[in-house]
Structure 1
Amino acid sequence: MSMTCRPLLPDETAQAAALIEESFDHGVAPLYPREGIEEFKSFVTPQSLRERLSGTGFAFAAERDGTLVGVVEVRDGHHIAMLFVAPHCQRQGIGRMLLRHATTACLERDPTLDAITVFSSPNSVGAYKRFGFAADGPEQEKNGIRYTPMTLDLSQTRN
Structure 2
Amino acid sequence: MSFEIRLAVPADATTVCQVLRRSIAECCVLDHHDDPGILAAWLGNKHPAMVTSWFESPTNYSLVAVRDGEVVGVSLLTGAGKLALCYLVPEAQRQGAGSALLRRMEEQALASGMKALYLHSTATAEGFFDASGYRRDGNVRSPYGVETILFWKPLVRDAQPDARKRFCNCNSA
The TM-score normalised by the length of structure 1 is 0.88
Aligned to 1:62: 65
- CA distance in 2 between partners of 1:45 and 1:102 (Å): 23
Higher relative helix content: 1
Q: 1:21 to 1:93 in 2, by over 3 A?
A: same
Contact 2:65–2:71 (Cα < 8 Å) also in 1: yes
Aligned letter for 2:74? V
Q: Matches of 2:48 and 2:29 in 1, distance apart?
A: 19
Q: Is the 2:106–2:155 Cα contact (8 Å) retained in structure 1?
A: no
Determine the structure 2 residue equivalent to 1:23: 23
Counterpart residue number, 1:36 = 38
CA distance in 2, matches of 1:10, 1:143: 25
Matched with 1:86 is 89
Work out whether residues 59 and 74 of structure 1, in 8 Å CA contact, stay in contact via their aligned partners in 2: yes
CA distance in 2, matches of 1:115, 1:75: 12
- Kept in 1, the 8 Å contact 2:9–2:55? The answer is no
1:71 aligned residue (70, 74, 93):
74
Which position in structure 2 is the counterpart of 1:12? 12
The AA in structure 1 aligned to 2:112 is: R
SS in 1 for 2:75: strand
Is the contact between residue 83 and residue 118 of structure 2 (CA under 8 Å) also seen in structure 1? yes
Alpha carbons 1:39, 1:145 under 8 Å: kept: no
Q: CA deviation at 1:15?
A: 0.5
1:77 Cα offset (Å)? 4.4
- The residue matched to 2:21 in structure 1 has which SS? helix
**Counterpart of 2:37 in structure 1: which amino acid?**
E
Structure 2: segments with no counterpart, 5+ residues? 160-173
Q: Once the 2 structures are TM-superposed, how far is the Cα of residue 29 of structure 1 from its aligned partner? A: 4.3
Is 1:48 the counterpart of 2:50? The answer is yes
Matched, 1:138 2:143: no
Q: Deviations over 1:78-129 (max 9, x none)?
A: 111111111011111110100111111122222xx21100100111111100
Task: Provide the residue aligned with 1:125 in structure 2.
Answer: 126
Structure 1: stretches of 5+ with no match in the other structure: none
**Aligned residue pair count:** 156
Provide the rounded CA distance (Å) in 2 between the counterparts of 1:90 and 1:2: 13
Match of 1:154? 155
Which TM-score applies when normalising by structure 2?
Answer: 0.82
* Superposition deviation, residue 43 in structure 1: 2.4
Identity, % of aligned pairs? 21
